[in-house]
């Protein structure tokens, strides 16, 4: 797999919010880089797009987590069995 292929895979996974798939794609991208495929300006730019998508996913996840905490404040405490 090429850096560009793995980057496209990672971008798609990040945009879908699929963390498992994102982890696999990032590993594949690292393997492509480690296999001595030299980065080009295009692959670096694609990597930046992946980074930005991950940052967006992180912000969205944090916002949703905060929203769920606020909702939980209004739930009665769970009964201990």
The mean pLDDT value of the chain amounts to 91
Kindly report whether the global pTM for this prediction surpasses the value 0.95: no
The C-alpha atoms of residue 73 and residue 52 are separated, in whole angstroms, by 32
Residue 46 has pLDDT above 80, yes or no: yes
More confident: 80 or 22? 22
Considering the domain boundaries, does residue 81 fall inside one? no
Domain count of the chain? 1
Please give the pLDDT value at position 81. 61
Considering the domain boundaries, does residue 9 fall inside one? yes
Considering the domain boundaries, does residue 78 fall inside one? no
Considering the domain boundaries, does residue 62 fall inside one? yes
Residue 32 structural domain: 3-72
The C-alpha atoms of residue 41 and residue 15 are separated, in whole angstroms, by 22
Considering the domain boundaries, does residue 77 fall inside one? no
């Amino acid at each position: 797999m090429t850096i560009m292929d793995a980057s496209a895979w990672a971008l798609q996974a990040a945009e879908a919010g699929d963390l498992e798939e994102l982890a696999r794609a990032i590993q594949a991208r690292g393997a492509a880089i480690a296999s001595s495929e030299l980065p080009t300006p295009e692959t670096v730019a694609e990597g930046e797009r992946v980074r930005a998508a991950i940052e967006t996913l992180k912000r969205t996840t944090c916002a949703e987590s905060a929203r769920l905490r606020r909702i939980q404040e209004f739930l009665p405490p769970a009964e201990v069995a």
